[in-house]
Structure 1
Amino acid sequence: MKKFSHGNDRYDYSAIVSRPVYDWPEGKRLAVYFALNVEGFEFGRNPGNDFTSMPSAPYHRGYAYRDYGNRVGVWRILREFDKAGFPLAVLANGSVYDVCPEVLDACRRRGDEMVGHGRTNSERQADMDPETERTMLSDVKALFEQHEGKPPGGWLGPFISQSANTPELLKELGWKYMLDWWFDDQPMWFRTANGPILAVPYPSMELNDLPAYINRGASDEEFTRMAIDAFDEQLQESKEYPMVYCLSLHTFMTGQPHRIKQLRQILDHIAAHRDQIWLTTPGAIAEHVESLPPGTVPMP
């Protein structure tokens, strides 16, 4: 009988309960990182929906809503992470270096990891032909090298969008890992025609403030409960095998004044377990996986 094929040849099935068990640094089993989306939008191009409806041209309402995050909201968020002493992975559009460089200056002073997140959040990779996408990726890489002194190790596409060529292009151009594919709670090697690239877990659908608030209509308190409950569950599960917990935040969502108290509750709860977890960044997670003995993490 012919075997069923689901059409995905990027990675093989692997049950988390059947894999080799390994530790994160210092014998920890739960890696925790926070992703902060710092995005720039082009006025007159649809930036996405808001709480009420899909805006219409010239899209000023959605643009202004998001611009608030870089002018006001991000500073509230950075203040809380400074107080907690937590690192951030800053998922930054290249355009932010031109539009509001002061934000990235502050993140750089904190020592946060800068992760490539497109040229602008007004375009999607799924709409690009291979040469357009290659040029975009090269331009973003050059911007990061110019301002940070080194290329970004990680990538998340705007709108978590990929073309059929994205994994190959990322590998070709030197990216070490990507966040676009969330199919596991452990980092997994991902097959490309140019060799494997690491897929680091990123909560594209669940512990991500934008889809939670806008698409699913979660209340502030519900999102806080989700974030804390997921952390508690994964901390317990990590006694059996290593896991990655990530919380994804957007400056214009979590940076609203009524949500900062909620963020503080989450950070305080996680800080109370600081000695049991590895507070880190996705880049450090990728480096650790690369250092493990061959075969520890299944290779496609």
Structure 2
Amino acid sequence: MTHDDTRTDTAPGHGFWDYRPITDAPGRDWPDGRRLAVYVAVGLEEYRFGVGATEDIVPDVTAPDLVNTSWRDYGNRVGAFRLLERLDRAGIPPTVLLNTAVYDAAPDLIRAARALGAEFVGHGISNSDSLGAMSSAEEAAYVAAVADRIAAEEGEAPGGWSSPWLTHTPSTLDNLVASGYRYLLDLRLDDRPVPITTGAGQIVALPYALEVNDSTTIVGRGASASEFADMVVDEFDELLERSEEQPLVMSVVVHSFISGAPFRLRALDRALQHMTAHRDRVWFTQPRAIAAHLATTEVTA
């Protein structure tokens, strides 16, 4: 079959970023010559009771749904503290995907995360929210309100954003840049950071695990705790090997009420121990440090 440059039946592109194959220029090493950067994101979330979207472990519970509410509340009362402690024990600095409503609902949890040097990434006000239901003006005000609350509480505005339910509008990237966000944790289009040019400036998409993610995999697909831990290990081993060719980024995404459950935490801990046994070759870090390192060199799409 010959290639015809005059064809017009190709699918239209989305226009948000350009194509760049993994075989392109390898890029700059991470600090100390390491080639694989790993961050672990912990979702600390708050939901509006009986209103909006929810993450449920038991389907079709009639209102008032105290069953799934209690399961989610376990995360902020118990699971998150144990997840954060395990990351600290492993020497992995936590990255917190934060609903700012947690400041009011679980202040002790915020203090515990802050004491461990957590990076707070904007993750909406409540996880019952969806950007997809907002107008551009509503969305702009919403993402700015999240940045303002984190800045007021932490003394510094967040550099990163991750949308509740990974939702977007055509204006999301523009609104994030306009509110001062510099990097996005929502997309897995590459194993490297990808700069995206918007009408308001540039934002960098850091690799974000859509499958090495306990929400999509354990709740969404019914994977077991052991299967999820195996996924973490296999993802890590493959990327560690591939990082000999070029610097890469790996992420693991967990949630307080999912991986914070005791039996899942045990399985996850085995995966954490496997990864940190290779500490001499891996940079266990946070998105802000990755973004700061990238800022010292030119990043091209």
TM category (shorter chain) comes to over 0.9
Is 2:221 the counterpart of 1:216? yes
Distance 1:271 1:20 in 2: 24
Give the structure 2 partner of residue 257 of structure 1.
262
Is 2:89 the counterpart of 1:83? yes
The two structures, once aligned, show a CA RMSD in angstroms of: 1.4
User: What fraction of aligned residue pairs are identical, expressed as a percent?
Assistant: 39
Distance 2:204 2:149 in 1: 23
Give the structure 1 partner of residue 196 of structure 2.
190
Give the number of aligned pairs: 295
Give the structure 1 partner of residue 187 of structure 2.
181
Instruction: Identify the match of residue 126 of structure 1 among 112, 122, 132.
Output: 132
Give the structure 2 partner of residue 67 of structure 1.
73
Distance 1:145 1:51 in 2: 33
Q: What SS does the aligned partner of 2:126 have?
A: coil
Distance 1:54 1:2 in 2: 49
Deviation at 1:51, TM superposition (A): 3.4
Amino acid at match of 1:60: L
Q: Which moved more, 1:88-97 or 1:4-13?
A: 4-13
1:45/1:58 contact within 8 Å kept: no
Q: Which moved more, 1:16-25 or 1:166-175?
A: 16-25
1:46/1:59 contact within 8 Å kept: no
Distance 2:110 2:61 in 1: 28
Which runs of no fewer than 5 residues in structure 1 stay unpaired? none
Distance 2:190 2:175 in 1: 22
Deviation at 1:77, TM superposition (A): 0.9
Q: What SS does the aligned partner of 2:23 have?
A: helix
Q: What SS does the aligned partner of 1:287 have?
A: helix
- 5 Å-filtered alignment, 1:28-43, equals 28-43=34-49
Amino acid at match of 1:87: P
TM-score by length of 2: 0.94
Deviation at 1:53, TM superposition (A): 2.0
Deviation at 1:71, TM superposition (A): 0.5
Give the structure 2 partner of residue 236 of structure 1.
241
Q: What SS does the aligned partner of 2:43 have?
A: strand
1:37/1:248 contact within 8 Å kept: yes
2:54/2:127 contact within 8 Å kept: no
Amino acid at match of 1:253: I
Amino acid at match of 2:44: V
Give the structure 1 partner of residue 123 of structure 2.
117
Give the structure 1 partner of residue 110 of structure 2.
104
